[in-house]
Amino acid sequence: MGLDMELESVLRAPALEMPPYPAKVITLANGKKMVVRQAKQTEVPVLLKAVRPTMTIEKDFYDIVGARLYAELLGWYRHRVRNEYCLVGQIDGYLVGIVNGRMVDKAIGMSYHTMAIDRGLKIGAHLFAAKMEHHIEYLGQDEVWITAESPIGFRRWMIEYDLIQQEGVQHELGGATSYKLTRDLYFASKARLVAGQRPAPKDLLEFALENLFIADEKAIKEKICGTLGGQR
Amino acid sequence: MRDVAIIGVGMIPFGRRDEDSLLDMLAYASLNALDDAGIGKKGVDAVYVANMGAGILQHQTSVASALVDRLGLMPAAADAVENGPASGASAIKNGLLAVASGYYDTVLVAGGEKMREVVGWKATDFVATMTHPEVEYPYGITLPGMAGMFTRLYMAKYGLTHEQLMAVAIKNQKMGTLNPFAHVDMVITKEGIHDSPDAVVNNPVAADPLHFYDMCPVSDGAAAVILCPAEKAKEITKNVPVIIAGFGQATDTHTLQEREDPTDLKAVTLAAEQAFKMAKLTPKDVDVAELHDAFTVLEIAESEHAGFFKKGEGGKAAEKGETGLNGKIPINVSGGLKSRGHPVGATGIAQVVEIVFQLRHALDKKRQVKNAKVGFTLNFGGFGNNVVAFVLRRSE
């Protein structure tokens, strides 16, 4: 069935102008280079394939983060979320992490989710930092609203960035307490928490843009859950 | 006194084991050791269980009684042994003396700790309860803090460098990737933790001058060994018996500031000397060693105090690769605490398990020290205030 574009124009909210996120490269502790770049809307179907296996992983609340991230990315792809963006981390073309958020208005950013697919290399922390960098430095916003669904998120965001608790403010992700990052807090933490070099080397960036690989479902689950635990 | 042999060893992978209780882990490791010895559950006379923190972390005491019941080993004698991070080696020492005296024939020694069910700062605080309750702990000292101050002094006195510390971290994380029991399965590179502009984020200062990758992880895990009289070992098991040829234990002042020279780890020196004297061997006879590298600086300092290198030479040796698998004295080719992990009650036993694997020549060639005959372990309690060392020998 075709879309009724007259109705569709009502359902699709007009978007704000969103400056692009300039790609960067982070050298990880193991020496590998992670390209951090803005994902294209046309790449969402591939990203959904990577997110889908996480929706059954209870560990560290991957199931909740995975289910919500899936819905947010799908909403972006099908034009049902306004002003959304997504950044991805890739090593040798492989997707290792995803972050997303949106502009509420010109001044306020809404941080959605951070998902590390490969763990142990601070990939989630690096990508969250890139997300904050995008809101403050490239979208030019004054503050970012943030909440956490896992203890790891709470430790990484609320404590490490010394975020400000917001009483009586409703984050879009539900009833959890909302916090905010201000420009001052961001720049106070930047040297300590925001990594990456620009411009991204041309060969690495081109390879990442042309090759968005995702690991198979078993590998994704293993990378997230680890191979340890539950074994005699 | 009878010679005592290790006839069975058991490990479980260290790491974050959300689904296992402390008792589950102790039971798994113990069953693995009993299976390895080929003796099943029958004939265990006594059980020693090393654990430091169940009373604090799990609100559970009497873990030895609980383990005996879980394994169905009643009416075996059972004791828990708590000696901080040296609990594991202390428990083995108790088992060793019990068998050597002739009182018991077959002894199970298990050690475990479940540290990941609390958040990191609570785990750090729990470990800090071993510091002096009046002049250290109330002022906020932690073990990483002590290690940082110790490192600063060691740098000033012996010229220890960041590069030397990094050499230990890089070696041990590489070796950990080859050890299926290791918590950390990730190589690190000098570029990633030091040279790159991003290294400041990857490897932040944790306790100046120590950085994140100078620290061992907080781990869950358990390990176990089975001891029996050496003269009966070959009747009981098909494994190559490993003889506990020597042990030593020494203590030092509780507080660091009371030591004449805080860089002098006297208890390490004394424990090692006792162990070598009893074994009638010297550090030069050792083919492979497991040292207590809760912090990279400790691997270097202990390698000097135990007699493998002169003071001030351990760091240089690490940087030159002399402590690698094919080096002059391979140290922590298991990955050490740095990579295998440090569930405090299990560590001293895991070190001995590793040396038994080495002396049996049972490891993959990527991690096996060729033709290893003599091994050494050093389990470091407090900040060097209670140290236990073993010299182990392959029985031909």
- Between strands A33-38 and A143-146, the pairing is unpaired
Does the beta carbon of B19 lie under 8 angstroms from any beta carbon of chain A? yes
**Cα torsion for A122, A125, A126, A130, to the nearest 10°?**
170
Instruction: Enter the ipTM.
Output: 0.92
Contacts of A189 in chain B (CB under 8 A): none
Residue with tokens 């058991």: B10
- Between strands B220-229 and B210-211, the pairing is unpaired
Residue with tokens 């605080």: B125
B206-236 burial, b at 16+ Cβ within 10 Å, e below that, comes to: bbebbbebbbbbbbbbbbbbbbbbbebbeeb
The gap between the terminal CA atoms of chain A, to the nearest Å, is 55
Does the beta carbon of B204 lie under 8 angstroms from any beta carbon of chain A? yes
- Helix and strand counts by DSSP (H, E) for chain B: 14, 11
Min Cα–Cα distance to chain B from A56, Å: 16
Does the beta carbon of B15 lie under 8 angstroms from any beta carbon of chain A? yes
- Contact (CB, 8 A) for B47 and B110: yes
- Between strands B220-229 and B4-11, the pairing is antiparallel
Angstrom distance (rounded) from CA B338 to CA B187 = 12
Give the largest Cα separation in chain A, rounded: 62
Where residue A5 falls among pLDDT bands split at 50, 70, 90?
confident
> How do residues B246-261 score in pLDDT, each as one tens digit?
999 999 999 999 999 9
Interface of B with A in 244-263 (CB under 8 A): none
Name residues whose C-beta falls within 8 Å of residue B176's C-beta, 6 or more positions apart in sequence.
Answer: B182, B183, B184, B185, B186, B334, B335, B336, B338, B339, B340
Query: Which member of A196, A226, A228 has the closest CB to residue B198?
Result: A196
Where residue B199 falls among pLDDT bands split at 50, 70, 90?
very high
Q: Which residue of B has its CA nearest to A193?
A: B201
Q: List the structure tokens of B167.
A: 């050499």
* Cβ contact A122–B15 (<8 Å): no
Angstrom distance (rounded) from CA B390 to CA A10 = 77
Instruction: State the CB neighbour count (10 A cutoff) for residue A203.
Output: 8
Q: Kindly tell me if the per-residue pLDDT of B300 is higher than 50.
A: yes
pLDDT at A223 (0 to 100) = 80
> How do residues A74-90 score in pLDDT, each as one tens digit?
999 999 999 999 999 99
pLDDT at A220 (0 to 100) = 85
Interface of A with B in 186-215 (CB under 8 A): 191-197
Nearest Cα neighbor of A139 from A101, A173, A112, A168 is A101
Angstrom distance (rounded) from CA B67 to CA B48 = 10
Q: List the structure tokens of B18.
A: 């959300």
Instruction: State the CB neighbour count (10 A cutoff) for residue A204.
Output: 19
Name residues whose C-beta falls within 8 Å of residue A170's C-beta, 6 or more positions apart in sequence.
Answer: A178
Nearest Cα neighbor of B227 from B213, B211, B243, B245 is B243
Q: Kindly tell me if the per-residue pLDDT of A228 is higher than 80.
A: no
Q: What letter does residue A136 receive in the DSSP assignment?
A: I
> How do residues B321-359 score in pLDDT, each as one tens digit?
999 999 999 999 999 999 999 999 999 999 999 999 999
Does the beta carbon of B276 lie under 8 angstroms from any beta carbon of chain A? no
Q: Kindly tell me if the per-residue pLDDT of B305 is higher than 80.
A: yes
Residue type, A163: L
Across the range A59-68, mean pLDDT stands at 94
Angstrom distance (rounded) from CA A215 to CA B359 = 39
Where residue B281 falls among pLDDT bands split at 50, 70, 90?
very high
3-state secondary structure of A161: coil
Contacts of A195 in chain B (CB under 8 A): 197-198, 200-202
Angstrom distance (rounded) from CA B8 to CA B30 = 9
DSSP string, A69-97: HHHHHHHHHTT-STTEEEEEEEETTEEEE
Interface probe with A: pick from B166, B190, B198, most Cβ of A within 10 Å: B198
Contacts of A130 in chain B (CB under 8 A): none
- pTM of the predicted model as reported, rounded to 2 decimal places: 0.94
Count Cβ atoms within 10 A of the Cβ of residue B334 and give its class: 0-12 exposed, 13-18 middle, 19 or more buried.
buried
> How do residues A169-225 score in pLDDT, each as one tens digit?
999 998 788 999 999 999 999 999 999 999 999 999 999 999 999 999 888 888 887
